[in-house]
Structure 1
Amino acid sequence: MTGIAVPPVSRVEWAGAVRIIRSIYPPIDLFEDIADPADWPLLISAEQKTNPRIMTSIGNMELVPPERRIGGVGSSYLMASFTHVSLDRPSRFSDGSYGVLYVARSYETALFETIHHHAQFMARTGEQAGWTSQFREIVLTVDAELHDLRGGDEDYGPCLDPESYGEAQQLAASLRGSGANGMAYPSVRQAGGECVALFFPDCASNPLQGRHLDYHWDGRRVDLVRDAGSGAVFRVVEG
Structure 2
Amino acid sequence: MTAAEAATTHLEWKGAVRIIRSLFPPIDLFEDIADPADWPLLLSAEQKTNPRIMATIGNLDLVPADRRVGGPGASWLMASFTHVSPDRPSRFSAGDYGVLYVGDRYETALFETIHHHARFMARTAEPPGWTSQFREIVLNVSGDLVDLRAAAADDLLDPEDYAPAQRFAAQVRASDADGIVYPSVRYPGGECVALFYPDCAAAPMQGRHLDYHWNGSAVDLVRNAGTGAVFRVVDA
TM-score by length of 2: 0.98
Structure 2 equivalent of residue 180 of structure 1: 177
Helix, strand or coil at the partner of 1:87: coil
Shift in Å at residue 238 of structure 1? 1.3
Distance 2:222 2:128 in 1: 14
Query: SS of 1:70's equivalent?
Result: coil
Question: Structure 2 CA distance, aligned partners of 1:68 and 1:3?
Answer: 25
Q: CA deviation at 1:4?
A: 6.6
Check whether the contact 2:81–2:97 (CA below 8 A) recurs between aligned residues.
yes
Structure 2: unaligned runs, 5 residues or longer: none
The answer as to 2:204 corresponding to 1:201 is no
Question: What is residue 78 of structure 2 aligned with on the other side?
Answer: 79
SS at match of 2:5: coil
What is the root-mean-square deviation in Å for CA atoms of aligned residues? Answer: 1.0
CA pair 4-82 structure 1, distance change in 2 beyond 3 A: closer
- Equivalent AA in structure 1 for residue 210 of structure 2: L
Instruction: Give the percent of matched residue pairs that are identical in Structure 1 and Structure 2.
Output: 70
Task: Verify the 8 A CA contact 2:2 2:171 in the aligned structure 1.
Answer: no
**Superposition pairs for residues 88-103 of structure 1, below 5 Å?**
88-103=87-102
Paired with 1:180 and 1:89, the residues of 2 have a C-alpha distance of: 23
Give the match's secondary structure for 1:21.
strand
- What amino acid is aligned across from residue 52 of structure 2 in structure 1? R
The verdict on how the C-alpha distance between 1:57 and 1:168 changes in structure 2, with shifts beyond 3 A counting, is same
* Residues 92 and 99 in structure 2, CA contact (< 8 A), matched pair in contact too: yes
Match of 2:52 in 1: 53
Unaligned residue ranges in structure 1 (runs of 5+):
none
Other structure's SS at 2:177 match: coil
Q: How far apart, in 2, do the equivalents of 1:173 and 1:69 lie?
A: 20
Corresponding residue number in structure 2 for 1:44: 43
TM superposition score normalised by structure 1:
0.97
Give the conservation status (yes or no) of the 8 Å contact 2:224–2:230: yes
Q: CA deviation at 1:6?
A: 3.0
Deviations 1:5-33 (A, max 9, x none): 53111111111000000001111000000
Preserved CA contact (<8 Å) 2:36 2:65: yes
